[in-house]
Structure 1
Amino acid sequence: MNLKFVGQNLDVTPALKDYTLNKLERISRHADQVISATVTFSVLKVQKKAEINLHLSGKDIHIDCVDNDMYAAIDCLMDKLDRAVIKYKEKKQPSRETPEIVADTIKETD
């Protein structure tokens, strides 16, 4: 996975990078085909904003979150990203397949 950190109106510290990497490990459990991710940190007067562009095979996901604390914004961002990746994975799986067990029990009762 290619990972890029960008800071707008702020310097990206190693502490922010480490914290974000630890949180991204949770996402990598759900998304096995992550191609690249770009994390952008910015300061808007008093509020801090964290954004991510996640490029999966077949889909691009863009999430952003604004909070008064940068670490709280990262937590909110990862929660939203986790839900979006799970939703994408559920949509990707076929839902109309008939289970083999149901077909076998019908044959035995005849």
Structure 2
Amino acid sequence: MKMDIRGRNIEITDALKDYTTKRLSKLEKYIDDASTAQVVLSVEGERHKVEVTIPLNGVILRGEVAGEDMYASIDLVVEKLEKQIEKHKTKLYRSHRGAGLKKAVADEIQRELDEKNDTPDKFKIVRTKRFALKPMDEEEAIMQMNLLGHTFFVFYNAQTEEVNVVYKRKDGNYGLIEPDFD
């Protein structure tokens, strides 16, 4: 697994980079060599924040932890990612879909932040994400949404051949948004 380690408001020392690489290498038994882990280490006041995103074929592993110590935050984010992997492996095993994470082929992910935009607009877009839409059914989309810990998920519906959005409702159920071009 390749690693792209970046710092925001912090200088990435060799010791910090080595520690991050060593701890994340624990995940290599689950992830193939073609995958690239995007790691952002940042300091915001007293908080040391670690964000890790690992895109795989059909799955995006993501962990984010903030604490008082950068090294402790790195340890916690690795634990969080291991739990996500185990949860996903269990779901794959139960549903008999796929051959596991080790055989997954990496997708490319682009994360560019536009923080330097000086135009003070009321509806200022501060982040744009691009990602590949993998055809899946509604159940897989809900599984992905829950795995990421999000409240909505955009996906390409394999049955309707349209882009849909699943979302978690306040009552605990799920909703589906389908486009209507009429």
TM-score by length of 2: 0.49
Q: Is the contact made by 1:34 and 1:54 (CA closer than 8 Å) also made in structure 2? A: no
Bigger Cα Rg: 1
**Aligned pair 1:76/2:85, yes or no?**
no
Report the counterpart of residue 11 of structure 1 in structure 2. 11
Report the counterpart of residue 58 of structure 1 in structure 2. 58
More contact order relative to length (CA 8 Å, sep ≥ 6): 1
**Partner Cα distance (2:64, 2:94) in 1:** 29
**Partner Cα distance (1:30, 1:2) in 2:** 13
1:66 Cα shift?
0.5
**Partner Cα distance (2:49, 2:78) in 1:** 13
Specify whether residues 82 and 73 from structure 1 end up closer, same or farther in structure 2 by C-alpha distance, changes over 3 A only: same
Unaligned runs of 5+ in 1: 97-110
Size of the aligned set, in residue pairs, is 96
Unaligned runs of 5+ in 2: 97-182
Read off the aligned partner of 2:28 and give its amino acid letter: S
**Aligned pair 1:37/2:20, yes or no?**
no
Q: Report runs of 4+ in structure 1 exceeding 6 Å deviation.
A: none
TM-score by length of 1: 0.78
Identical pairs, percent: 33
Q: Is the contact made by 1:33 and 1:57 (CA closer than 8 Å) also made in structure 2? A: no
